[in-house]
Every structure is written in C-alpha cells, then in structure tokens.
Structure 1
C-alpha cells in the first residue's frame, strides 16, 4: 500500500539495523547458484550468471585519501558525494562528500582534501553523535547576503538536515575553508518525536534536493532509515542568514508486493525493519524524483510526492523469499520464482543524473551487489529504457576501482583541463591497498567523457 499525507506522527522506533553489508552479496551468489541449478519459471527475466562481466570497464583518474571507520581514523566512513562547479573558475570546482561520524570532506579536482568539517555531537553524553549520511547541493538560494550555493546533508545521528554555504573565492581557498555552517540552530528533527527516538536511529537517511522552476522554492526529499517513508521538506532561509525547513508532506512506499503467482512478497530483513530508501535524485527539468528502494528497485514519481510511484526496474532478488538468521544476521534465500529484473543486484544504492542541454541524458544507479553501474534513458517517454552499464575497475596497483558503491554524483559540464567533459564521482566501499589490515573507504574520480563514450557505443 502507498500512503501519502501531510505531517504524520512518527512511527514507533525499532532496534538499530545490524544486517551486515555483505548480506546482499551473499544473496546474489546464492541466486546465481540457484539460476544454474534450475530454470526460472516462464516469463522470467533472469539473466545468465555473471553476465555483467561483459560490461565496459572504466578506470578512475584519481582517488581521495582513504577514510578509516575506527577510533584512530576518526570513525570516518565514506558514503555519498556531490560535485560543486565553480562558475568563475571551473578548474577550481569542489567535491563535497559525507564521512558519516567523520562529518564532511571537501576535495579539489585532484582528489586532495581541502577541508574537513566535523559532525556535531549529540545534545548530551550518551546521545547518538552526528552522522552525515547523504549530501546534495542547492544553487542560488536567496539568503539576506545574496544568492548562495549550499551543501545540504542528512545528519542521521541527530535526525536533522545541516546546511553549509559554499565559497569558492580566493580568500576561502587560502583559508582551506570553502564551507561555512549556516544551519538554523532551531531546526527540528525530521522524523523523531523525542531524543530517545533519535537515539534509536530510525532517522533522516537518504537525501535529494530540488528547486521548483515555477515557484523558485527549494526543497529536500529525505528518506527515513529502516522504513519506506520519504518526506518533502521546504527549505526556509531566515533573516539572520541561517537556513531551516518545514515538513510539507510524507509518502510511504510499499513494503509488500503482490507477485504474478498470487503470493505476497516482503523483502527479507531484520525483524521490525522495512525495505528502506537511500539513493535519490531529482530531474531538475520536470521535477521527477527517482528513489532507490535498496532491496526492491527504482521508483519514479513527482518530487512533490503527489503522484502514484511507478517501479521502473527491479533488483534480481525481487520476489525471492528469505529467512532471517539471527546467528549470522543475514538472510537465507529460498527458491527464485524468476520475477526479478536483469540489471540490478541488491542493494540499489547511489543514483545520479547525467543531464544534457537537449533533454537527453542518463539516470545512473549503483548496483552494489555485483559492483556495476546501470544507465537508463533520462526520457520518461521511453519509459526510462535501459541503455547499458559499466564497471569502475583498477587503473594500477595503487589506484583501485569501486566496490560495494554506496553513493555517486555526476556533473556534465566542463571542469577545467582535467575534466573538460565533466566528472563522475563514485564511492568505493572497499578501498585497497589497505594499510595494516585496516578496512578503508574512499571516492574515485572518473572522466565523465569516458562514461558517455561507453554508453553511446
């Protein structure tokens, strides 16, 4: 069932999500084994196992310094990037990226760190600390000092949005401080009704921004962790130069699905958890929201949350029953009925949009379970037809590719001599080589021109 409403009471909290990130990979491997053991039912779209290996392999041009999610590394875990273009000097554009409890990182086009912004602490000892999950940009928001570009991030730890004004001036570069916090201190929790509910971490998770071309008002779309809920928030500049927000409405995507065999399927997960949304992006031309429900597929709907969502593609695991194992904290899959898609392996993660002046372009989706990226036609008239895919693989022994990708961002505009045809930034959830056996994450910078050439072939 899909429900939409104005601001609603928050749902009761559940325990923190504990499912290992490797669960999706394990399920994909099991599905491949099932696909070779028995044929799918009639009408199935299951591809041959490992068919993704035929996809083009692209190599990154640069990578950020590794981030370590341990005490010595500041509990920093790379997640989601956004690309800010310096219109006055495109070669000095910036990448703003989340590092969860490590806050924000700002990089130049050589992938060198320019600035580190700490996540705020919890309001009291023992409360959940700040944890920046996703980031997106708003251009030209009207502040009292004049139009400003902002980086907006979902603070999953405190269940709030935070806002940072972007300054690309020479003065800011000399100070290594392009970001300035302009968050309204009175900004309320997005979903939670109490600090205890915030501490349970069923909080603000995925994020996408949108400016309505008709009204010129700017919004953020925010998903709620471990639920199917998405909220529309209007951004509100204040007279003192800070930015807050108000909730306009919410929408709940389905958590159960009727299959062609008449059965009802619910994606397997820890008891009490619903299939959550994280990766989201809005097409600025017509206000279309694309939302990735991690264990289900990609939804298309109006960014104002007033239309019926359409599922434009499904993950391979769609319809596969599963049993949650408390011991391993993973799902054990049953027999595959063959109702899944053929391009995405759960989880569906980072979504990015490649826009072109003539209205063409691509929707990119990170297929985390098999370390690939799928590309769909941006045009809804073609029903967002699948156009191909690619992998990001190692360029050398010291510059690896992207695995278990959480987030991605693309900008189809000249960015100086390094990226004359634009830039794609993808998260790497398994950065190598690893120093001293420490697990690391980071971001890879890929020439967008090579991506477009691969998709156009």
Structure 2
C-alpha cells in the first residue's frame, strides 16, 4: 500500500468515526480523568455559529491577576479578556482563525507584546495579521499584515528559537510556511524561509523554544513534530496517531507546558471525544487524558484551540492557566473556559 493511499484510507476512517455517537467514541477511547473549569470568558459576539476558536495567554509577571487572554471569533475578529472573563477590548479583524503571542519582542526599537493571527479573509492567500497588545489598557493596535503563502490560513504559532521572531503558518491543506518576521520598521515585513508539508488538513501548532521543536496536529491523522530551526529538516516525526484511543479525530489545538530546561508536556485537543491528551516532551511518551466536566462554569465540548501558560496567575490559578475553546456553551454563543493547571496535574498525578 502506498503512503498516499494509507493516508486517504485513514481520512475515510476518521470521517466514519465522526458518524459514531459521542457516547460510543468516549467508550472506545482510553480512560480520562476529570477536572472542572474555574472561570470562563464572556461569549463571543457571533451567535448561532461555530465562531470562537483559539486563545493565547499573556502572563503579567508584576501582577499575575492582571494577566490577559486573547481569543478569536473566527467570523469577526479578536477579543481581549481579563482573568475574570470580561471583555477588555475587541478588534474587528474579520476572519482570523488562530492566534498566538510573544512578550519581549522589539517593535520599532521598543520592547512589546506582539500578537499574531492567521488571517483567512482571502482564502486563496494567507496573511499574518500583527498587533501590539498594551498590557495596561489591554488594547490591541494593528501593526499590519505579512504574507503567509498561497492557500487558506488556518493555524499559527510564534517562536523566538535561534534568535529573531518566526511565525509558523499552517494552511488548511497541511502546508506549513515558516515566516521570518521583521518588526523594526514602520510596517512589518516577512520572508518565508522554508516550507513543510503534512498530507491532509492541519491546524493547531506550538513551538518549544528550548528544544526548537514544532508540534502540529493533523486533524484526521495525529500529532507530529518538526525541527523548528530555519535550516532544519522538513521531515515530520509522528508522535501519536488519531487512533480513536489516545486521540479521537479531530486532533485540534496544541499547547506546551515547558518545565525546567528540558522537561514538560505537550497537550492536544482530542476533539472527537471532548478530551485532552498529554504526552511528555522528553521522550514523547503517552501520559494520560482528561476532560473538563460540568461544574460552576459548565463542561467543554468539541474544543478547537487551547493554550497553556505556567507560573502564578493569582489566587485562582497559582501554578498555571489552561484555556480552551468551548464548542457548546449551553445555549449561548461559544466562549473560552479557564482551568487551573494545578488541578490537571493533580488529576493526572503529574510530578514535575
């Protein structure tokens, strides 16, 4: 059997899996421990639609409780939320799908927080929409757009590995363009330094800047790793399959929990059974799975994007913050749920 045929058959199997009732998918998957959300954001403005998609977390080191969350409404633009879930800002940016941010970036000679969103307003030509996030006012200021390549923009993640700022733009067809960003001038510019490829639809991605590893979720296939260095190999290494056990298709959002110099975890949204799967970064071994079940702020279903940031986020999240998109917000427009990393660690019996 050829590799292309194998991929095609895997895709067909995943389509069949999605016709299986959710109760059967959950029963067939590996067991998952449970946690509860400790907070949630206000719903996005687009109602009666699959609209909220991907979050990015900024931690305020001086005042952790004043940290911020940037989230996409993929039909309308970008929201900025406080940890209390209230809207601090909204930027009408049209169809922006995924979002990431980096602190300590130099913009026109001054340190700043840069926010990058995958702009799919033109489905034939991907763009990277760039913004500056003001940590005091929580306002987003547009910086401009950079070309992301031919095709529909889907996922995006930022990296400072090896110096400079790079954006990895995941196109809907599985193409991944690595774009070197230059924010030193009046308007941003970018240069595609290399292209990688997965065979089918992909979206979620995250970079471990310590090791220079890029993790990408191919929705019907599983989780992959690439070398994130501009001159590195473009050959992917498969970490885990969307086999209906550890990951139930779709494989969606990806997040990194870096601990120390080399340790930590990579998390992926197992959308097909409303769960989240955890692997060790050191040896890429399977750790376990968890679900966010009904509590004061409701359960999560059909999660697309996720983000995780370790460190103190105030009394509710002293060890870190996990934020996920909720695809079924109990009759309201979609939103994002907030979970304490300490609770996830305890449920999975993780030892740093």
Query: TM > 0.5 between the two?
Result: yes
Q: Which residue pairs with 1:157 in the alignment?
A: 121
**Structure ranking higher in strand proportion:** 2
| SS of 1:87 mapped into structure 2 | coil
Q: Does 1:233 align with 2:233?
A: no
Which of the residues 257, 275, 280 maps onto 2:205?
A: 280
Which of the residues 353, 359, 367 maps onto 2:262?
A: 359
Shift of 1:251: 1.5
Runs of at least 5 residues in structure 2 that lack an aligned partner in the other structure: 4-13
Q: Which residue pairs with 2:73 in the alignment?
A: 99
Q: Which residue pairs with 1:309 in the alignment?
A: 236
Question: Which has the larger displacement, 279-288 or 304-313?
Answer: 304-313
1:55/1:30 CA distance change after superposition, 3 Å: closer
Q: Which residue pairs with 1:167 in the alignment?
A: 134
- Give per-residue Cα distances to partners, 1:131-174, cap 9 Å, x unaligned: 110001122222224111111111111321111112112xx2xx
Shift of 1:27: 3.8
CA distance, structure 2, for counterparts of residue 30 and residue 136 of structure 1: 30
Q: Does 1:391 align with 2:294?
A: no
CA distance, structure 2, for counterparts of residue 91 and residue 24 of structure 1: 44
Q: Does 1:248 align with 2:193?
A: yes
CA distance, structure 2, for counterparts of residue 164 and residue 373 of structure 1: 29
| SS of 1:282 mapped into structure 2 | strand
CA distance, structure 2, for counterparts of residue 87 and residue 30 of structure 1: 41
CA distance, structure 2, for counterparts of residue 29 and residue 62 of structure 1: 29
Q: State the aligned residue count.
A: 335
Which of the residues 225, 231, 234 maps onto 1:300?
A: 225
Runs of at least 5 residues in structure 1 that lack an aligned partner in the other structure: 3-21, 34-47, 120-129, 193-201, 256-274, 318-341
Q: Which residue pairs with 1:290 in the alignment?
A: 215
Q: Under a length normalisation based on structure 1, what TM-score does the superposition of the two structures give?
A: 0.69
CA distance, structure 1, for counterparts of residue 262 and residue 84 of structure 2: 30
Which of the residues 18, 21, 33 maps onto 1:56?
A: 33
Which of the residues 387, 409, 416 maps onto 2:314?
A: 416
Tell me if the contact between 2:106 and 2:184 (Cα under 8 Å) persists in the aligned partners.
no
CA distance, structure 2, for counterparts of residue 68 and residue 401 of structure 1: 20
Larger radius of gyration: 1
Structure 2 matches for 1:333-412, cutoff 5 A?
Answer: 342-379=245-282, 382=283, 384-396=284-296, 399-412=297-310
- Give per-residue Cα distances to partners, 1:88-133, cap 9 Å, x unaligned: 22210000011112200111011111111101xxxxxxxxxx3110
CA distance, structure 1, for counterparts of residue 36 and residue 159 of structure 2: 31
Q: Does 1:26 align with 2:35?
A: no
| SS of 1:343 mapped into structure 2 | coil
Q: What do you get for the CA RMSD once the two structures are aligned? A: 2.5
Tell me if the contact between 1:24 and 1:369 (Cα under 8 Å) persists in the aligned partners.
no
- Give per-residue Cα distances to partners, 1:308-363, cap 9 Å, x unaligned: 2111111126xxxxxxxxxxxxxxxxxxxxxxxx3001000000011112532110
| SS of 1:286 mapped into structure 2 | coil
| SS of 1:349 mapped into structure 2 | strand
1:25/1:179 CA distance change after superposition, 3 Å: farther
Tell me if the contact between 1:292 and 1:298 (Cα under 8 Å) persists in the aligned partners.
yes
Shift of 1:25: 5.9
| SS of 1:191 mapped into structure 2 | strand
Q: Which residue pairs with 2:348 in the alignment?
A: 455
Tell me if the contact between 2:253 and 2:304 (Cα under 8 Å) persists in the aligned partners.
yes
| SS of 2:272 mapped into structure 1 | helix
Tell me if the contact between 2:325 and 2:337 (Cα under 8 Å) persists in the aligned partners.
yes
CA distance, structure 1, for counterparts of residue 57 and residue 20 of structure 2: 31
CA distance, structure 2, for counterparts of residue 313 and residue 55 of structure 1: 17
